[in-house]
Every structure is written in structure tokens, then in C-alpha cells.
Structure 1
Amino acid sequence: MFDSKKLEQIAKQIQDAMPKPVKDLGNDVEQKVRQVIQSQLGKLDIVTREEFDVQTQVLLRTRQKLTELEQKMAAFEAKLNAEDNSTNA
């Protein structure tokens, strides 16, 4: 649809044409907005993507171990039931 490089080029030309006080004001506003956003994000109870991925892997390993233990338990129960049936017969 729109060429992003052309749009960036036009935006740069507009920015270059602005008087210095306006540019400085824009930079100050951008910096203040960044500070506010970072401050608010810091207050949220969130984790990084890396932490999330690590915990996902831990959960997958735990599920795998649980499945293996369930299978072993079922095999032990089957063995016990077979032994009970053979001693009761």
C-alpha cells in the first residue's frame, strides 16, 4: 500500500524542516512519555519473555514427568490387581 521507506523519508524531511525549539520540545515530550511508560510498566506484575519461556519449559518437563509417573502408577496398580486376583483364585 504505502512504501514505509518513503514515509520515513517524508517524516525526516518534515522533522529537518522544523525549527530547533520545536524539535527540542518534541524530544523532551518523547523522553517524558518514555519515562512515564517505563515507570508504569515497572509497577505492573509482569515477567519478561525470557522468564516466561523458561517457566514454559519447566512446566512442559513437569507435565512429562507427571505423565510418566501416572503410567508407572497404573502399571503398579495393574500388577497388584493381577497378584491379588491370582492369590484369591
Structure 2
Amino acid sequence: MLSQKLFEEISNKISETIAASPAKDVEKNIKSLMSSTFSRMDLVTREEFDVQQEVLARTREKLTLLEARVAKLEAALFPEAAAEQERSEASQGHS
């Protein structure tokens, strides 16, 4: 959904515009229409987006650490394969 503050600002502007007229029903209908439209748009707030961005950054950090741990364990369990992998990476880097 859209930011609550933005929705309130739009609502206040509509209220100010219609306040002097007897068109309160129009205001209710517009609010209902806007609310319905925003809910169908499947939007997220900036706060929700920022939280998910932080979660993703932490997940990436953990993934990097886990990849390093797995590589270290594999090297300890299979030293021949690790040496071969290092030679292969070294030859690709020099090509």
C-alpha cells in the first residue's frame, strides 16, 4: 500500500476542496475509490521496502560466510581436489 502520510495528504486536500460544498457523499466515494485502487495495485510502503532490503543484505553476508566455510571444509576433506581447483583458477587468471 501507499504511504499512509501520502494517503492522508490527498484525503486532506479533497476534504478542503469539498468542505464548503454539500458534496460529502462525493468525498466518501472518492476516498473509497482511491482506497480500492491503491489496494489493488499491490504496493508496499517505503518502510517495508527498506526492511526487506536490510534482510536481503544480511542474507547475502551470511551466504558469503557460509560459502567460505564450505570451501574451507571441502579443502580440508579433499585436499587433492582443492589443489586441482586452485591450479585451474590460477591458469584461468593468467590466460
Give the TM-score, by structure 1 length. 0.52
C-alpha RMSD over aligned residues: 3.0
Selected match of 1:61 from 58, 75, 88 = 58
Q: Secondary structure at the match of 2:43?
A: coil
Residue 42 (structure 1) aligned with residue 32 (structure 2): no
Q: Which structure: larger Rg?
A: 1
> Which consecutive aligned stretches of 4+ in structure 1 deviate over 3 angstroms post-superposition?
27-35
Alpha-carbon distance in 2 for matches of 1:44, 1:59: 24
User: Structure 1: where are the runs of 5+ without partners?
Assistant: 1-22, 85-89
Give the TM-score, by structure 2 length. 0.49
**Structure 1 residue aligned with 2:21:** 24
Residue 82 (structure 1) aligned with residue 76 (structure 2): no
Count of aligned pairs between the two proteins: 64
Alpha-carbon distance in 2 for matches of 1:75, 1:60: 23
Identity of aligned residues (%): 48
Alpha-carbon distance in 2 for matches of 1:34, 1:53: 27
Alpha-carbon distance in 2 for matches of 1:50, 1:74: 36
Whose relative contact order is higher, 1 or 2, with alpha carbons under 8 Å and at least 6 apart?
2
